[in-house]
Amino acid sequence: MEALELDHFNLPVAIELSAIDASRNVHRAYSIKAGHDLFGDILIEVRWGRIGTAGHHRRYRFADAGPAECFVRRLLTRRSSAFKRIGVAYRQSAQGPINR
């Protein structure tokens, strides 16, 4: 997986990843969306699962940008090692600001 630029964590941002290998029946999606809530905290929503299913999701809240950016970098580092774990690398399918 190519290095993803977080652009100093300008919010809101969305990162979409996918790992697909039809011969191995691997069809995975992974997304990270980050933005501010009404109270100024940073919310990070992570979604993952098989493409075409509801999948799973989890939300995290951070008071400061530093820990939030560190958290997102750890998530992306974990995704970058997918080839060793599942035999298919995640590819970036989209990254950029969230359109409102």
pLDDT tens, residue by residue, 4-41: 445 456 778 899 999 999 999 999 999 999 999 999 89
Give the chain's domain count.
1
CATH of the domain at 62: 2.20.140
Tokens of 15: 């990162």
Neighbours of 93 (CB within 10 A): 13
Evaluate whether residue 75 is within a structural domain: yes
Evaluate whether residue 98 is within a structural domain: no
Rounded Cα distance, 51 and 47, in Å: 11
* Containing structural domain, residue 71: 7-93
Q: What is the pTM of this model?
A: 0.81
Evaluate whether residue 18 is within a structural domain: yes
- Closest listed residue to residue 69, CA positions, set 2, 11, 3, 1: 11
Which pLDDT score, from 0 to 100, does residue 3 have? 45
Evaluate whether residue 100 is within a structural domain: no
Q: How confident is the model at residue 95 (pLDDT cuts 50, 70, 90)?
A: low
Evaluate whether residue 70 is within a structural domain: yes
